[in-house]
Chain A
Amino acid sequence: MNHATDLPIWATLLITLFLLIGAGLTLIGSLGLYRLRSFYDRIHAPTLGTSWGTAGIALASVIYFSVVESQLVLHQLLIGIFVMATTPITLILLGRAALYRDRTENNHDVPPLHPPENLPQPSEPEQDPVVTHKNAGEE
């Protein structure tokens, strides 16, 4: 912490705020991963850490290095953009793989691929009587 003695107080408070937001949200997300009951509940929880957890810590790092080096340093935002772009891809792939595994094992907790036959079908939308009348008149 030898660079930190000459930081202005506004930069220190901003860095502290973003660091605590990022680390706290990551901790809450991992606690949700530990505590929630089913896999499909758990897959939502760590996205707290990959959205604002990563963004908060990357913003704190950007502010710190920009103030210390007296120029705008933005390359920590690269990590934030990369993580935010890749997390949905990985979680969609993982969720579809888990759903495929549950369906092939005939687990009844997941919705089936084809809906059962005896469900009540949604009613047909009623036709507009004006259009019907005009079609009859053209014939």
Chain B
Amino acid sequence: MSATILFWAVTTAQIALGIAMVLALVRMINGPRAQDRVLGLDTLYNNSMLLMLVFGIRTGNSLYFEISLIIGALGFVATVALAKFLMRGEVIE
């Protein structure tokens, strides 16, 4: 009973996060300007991080938590560097 409920909840969450990743990818590909693409990349990073957490619930393996933490940290650094590049034209002055 509880395994069935949890299985369908995890499957629904994975499908929703997959659709969200596709929407962010579409915005990243045909965003009209560069800042739209950076925003789409940031959303894509965040959605993939959440998808890894849901994979961790599905398999019961805590290894996915560390993947998720690394994705979150790299997404933060990447978005800050890209925003700095859009502002100044170079990342490290």
| Chain A interface (Cβ < 8 Å from any Cβ of B) | 1-5, 7-9, 11-13, 15-16, 19-20, 22-24, 26-27, 29-31, 33-34, 39, 42-43, 46, 49-50, 53-54, 57-58, 60-61, 64-65, 68, 75-76, 78-79, 82-83, 86, 89-90, 93-94, 96-98, 100-101
- Asked if residues B16 and A24 are in contact (CB atoms below 8 Å), the reply is yes
B35-93 with Cβ < 8 A to chain A: 35-36, 38-40, 42-43, 46-47, 49-50, 53-54, 56-58, 60, 62, 65, 68-69, 72-73, 76, 79-80, 82-84, 86-87
Q: A15-B57, A79-B69 are in contact. Are A4 and B7 (CB under 8 A)?
A: yes
Q: Which of B5, B53, B76 contacts A57 (CB 8 A)?
A: B53
* A-B contacts, 21 listed (Cβ < 8 Å): A15-B57, A20-B9, A20-B12, A22-B13, A23-B17, A23-B50, A26-B47, A27-B19, A30-B24, A57-B54, A61-B53, A61-B56, A79-B65, A79-B72, A86-B72, A90-B42, A90-B79, A94-B35, A96-B83, A98-B86, A101-B35
Q: Is there contact, CB below 8 Å, between B46 and A4?
A: no
Cβ 8 A contact of B50, one of A4, A22, A33, A90: A22
**Which residues of A sit under 8 angstroms from B9, Cβ to Cβ?**
15-16, 19-20
CB-contact partner of B27 in A5, A33, A65, A94, under 8 A:
A33
Nearest CB on B from A61, distance (A) = 5
